[in-house]
Amino acid sequence: MGILLKNISTLLTLQGAAAKQGRRIQEEDLSLLQQAAIVIEKEKIAWVGPQKKLPREFARKKTLRDYDMKGRTVLPGFIECHTHLIFAGDRAAEFEMRNQGVSYQEIAAKGGGILSTMKKTRASSLNDLVKTGQKRLDHFVSQGVTTVEIKSGYALNLKDELKMLQAAQKLSGIRTVNTFLGAHALPPEFKSYEEYLTFLAQEVLPVVAKKKLARRVDVFIEKGFFPPEASEKYLRRAQELGFEILIHADQMSLSGGSDIAVRLGALSGDHLLQIEDKEIKKLAQSEVTGVLLPTADLYTKTKYPPARAMIDAGVRVALATDFNPGTSPTQNLNLVGLLARLEMKMSLPEVIAAYTVGGAYALNLQNEVGSLEVGKSADILCIDQDWQTLFYSVGEDSEKVVFSRGKKVFGSLK
Ligand code: NIG
Ligand code: FE
């Protein structure tokens, strides 16, 4: 049975933003429709437009179930394209240390940081990771998220990296996308980054590919973490094996990650706060999406990425929480969008497009999600507020109704 969503006061289809491939977004690219309706059939959008123009074939259809939206605002579900959702434990004590002046790199060099989460994650059962992971995923859904990317990278050995990816695959409710981030930190079993990357390329990537546990590979290229040359070689190998690639790039220093992303045709370069004009220009001329993660910048007390310069140069950007226990222990999309507006001078239409069309491109899902157009997946967010009040009040929690693939997965329409 299909669904008819009617009496939508304002519908943001984002059709214009999708047509511009998420670049240089203006308010008109939100593609606002007043008094609109949507028809969903077989998990997809079958029709969308002003309600007055609803074709008779749909108006009369007995197989359509009506939902009265009672004047709600409707937009594409948000896309969280960068998270480390699966992990055990927390790093609250480390946060306190960082607040007393010890740096992230100093903590990492002493075996804390990612390696402390590694110990807890290795020791966790698949079931426990699924349980905590599902709670966290549901928390994203309650904020209107319909697609979440999930990285491995807190196990750093074959067995438990597979366990992390399996846990992520067992989560249910909305669309998830797995990414293999074995190259997140150097585990104690290896002496050098080069040696560890060779192990990952030879012993782990082929297994991940064969078991279809992820179709994307990410690397943390950074001073004190994975060096650019060996990482580039590793990423090329991943591409040969059929993986899409992306990079944690230029987060703590300008260490070459975004250049490699452009050179190899990565889907995204993520963080990018250290990049300058030269890198911005290259990104603008490429298909790489710049994934900006301002809550990580807030928690690490660094600068914010040069979003204004990037967008004006023509870079397509996405926003995400980077949810992880170390540098961004928050799942709050409102805070991400608020920082993008306050600290990165992004306009509200730019933020909305980054969280929909931009995220879709970062995940190579632009033909399925990100905008509400005929043929795309019915991943829909209905809110009881004006769109202009989005990403504005951090404590706000307006009532939401969320559809994923045409099925209501959160909220009530009564
Ligand atoms: O995206 N930068 C590397 N990875 C994470 C941090 C992971 C952690 O500290 O646990 C990030 O910021
Ligand atoms: Fe990250």
Neighbours of 276 (CB within 10 A): 12
Q: Which strand (E) or helix (H) includes residue 362?
A: helix 359-362
For residue 121, the Cα-to-chain-centroid distance in whole angstroms is 22
Indicate the top mutation candidate among 85, 97, 114, 154 to test ligand 1's pocket, ranked by most ligand atoms within 8 A of CB.
Answer: 114
pLDDT value at residue 300: 93
In the chain, where the domains are located: 2-77+371-410, 79-362
Structure tokens at 277: 């004009």
Task: List alpha helices for 110-204, DSSP H.
Answer: 114-123, 126-141, 158-169, 193-199
pLDDT band at 404 (very low <50, low <70, confident <90, very high): very high
Structure tokens at 133: 């992971």
User: Of 166, 149, 232, which is closest to residue 194 (Cα–Cα)?
Assistant: 232
The protein residue whose alpha carbon is closest to atom 7 in ligand 1 is 326
The helix-helix angle for 158-169 and 126-141 (nearest 10°) equals 40
Asked whether 114 lines ligand 1 (CB < 6 A), one says yes
Looking at the predicted structure, is the pLDDT value of residue 397 above 80?
no
- For the chain, the average pLDDT equals 96
Kindly state the average pLDDT of the residues 328-342: 98
pLDDT value at residue 61: 74
Starting from the CA of residue 121, give the closest ligand: 1
- φ, ψ for residue 168, nearest 5 deg: -60, -40
Starting from the CA of residue 299, give the closest ligand: 1
Kindly state the average pLDDT of the residues 163-180: 98
pLDDT value at residue 59: 81
pLDDT value at residue 247: 98
Cα(388) to ligand 1 centroid in Å equals 32
Looking at the predicted structure, is the pLDDT value of residue 214 above 90?
yes
Looking at the predicted structure, is the pLDDT value of residue 414 above 80?
no
Cα(375) to ligand 1 centroid in Å equals 36
Residues 74-108 as b or e (16 or more Cβ within 10 Å = b): bbbbbbbbbbbbbbbbebeebeebbeeeeebeebb
Asked whether 321 lines ligand 1 (CB < 6 A), one says no
Asked whether 295 lines ligand 1 (CB < 6 A), one says no
pLDDT band at 366 (very low <50, low <70, confident <90, very high): very high
**pLDDT tens, position by position, 67-116:** 999 999 999 999 999 999 999 999 999 999 999 999 988 998 888 899 99
**pLDDT tens, position by position, 256-278:** 999 999 999 999 999 999 999 99
Looking at the predicted structure, is the pLDDT value of residue 292 above 90?
yes
Alpha-carbon gap, residue 55 to 59, rounded angstroms: 6
Q: Which CATH class is domain 79-362?
A: alpha beta
Question: Which value, to the nearest 10 degrees, does the dihedral of the CA atoms of residues 144, 148, 153, 157 take?
Answer: 130
Alpha-carbon gap, residue 118 to 361, rounded angstroms: 30
pLDDT value at residue 26: 98
Indicate the top mutation candidate among 80, 81, 84, 110 to test ligand 1's pocket, ranked by most ligand atoms within 8 A of CB.
Answer: 84
**pLDDT tens, position by position, 122-147:** 999 999 999 999 999 999 999 999 99
Contact 51, 6 (CB under 8 A): yes
Cα(88) to ligand 1 centroid in Å equals 14
pLDDT value at residue 187: 96
Asked whether 411 lines ligand 1 (CB < 6 A), one says no
The protein residue whose alpha carbon is closest to atom 5 in ligand 1 is 327
Q: What residues does the ion ligand 2 have nearby, CB within 5 Å?
A: 322
Contact 3, 39 (CB under 8 A): yes
pLDDT value at residue 12: 98
Task: List alpha helices for 124-246, DSSP H.
Answer: 126-141, 158-169, 193-199, 205-210, 228-240
Top-confidence residue, 63 or 234: 234
Starting from the CA of residue 249, give the closest ligand: 1
Cα(143) to ligand 1 centroid in Å equals 23
pLDDT value at residue 238: 98
pLDDT value at residue 389: 96
pLDDT value at residue 233: 98
pLDDT value at residue 241: 98
pLDDT value at residue 57: 87
What CATH topology corresponds to 2-77+371-410?
A: Urease, subunit C; domain 1 (2.30.40)
Starting from the CA of residue 294, give the closest ligand: 1
Task: List alpha helices for 170-306, DSSP H.
Answer: 193-199, 205-210, 228-240, 257-264, 277-284, 294-299
pLDDT value at residue 62: 81
Radius of gyration of the chain (CA): 21
pLDDT > 70 in the chain, percent: 100
The protein residue whose alpha carbon is closest to atom 8 in ligand 1 is 326
The protein residue whose alpha carbon is closest to atom 1 in ligand 1 is 322
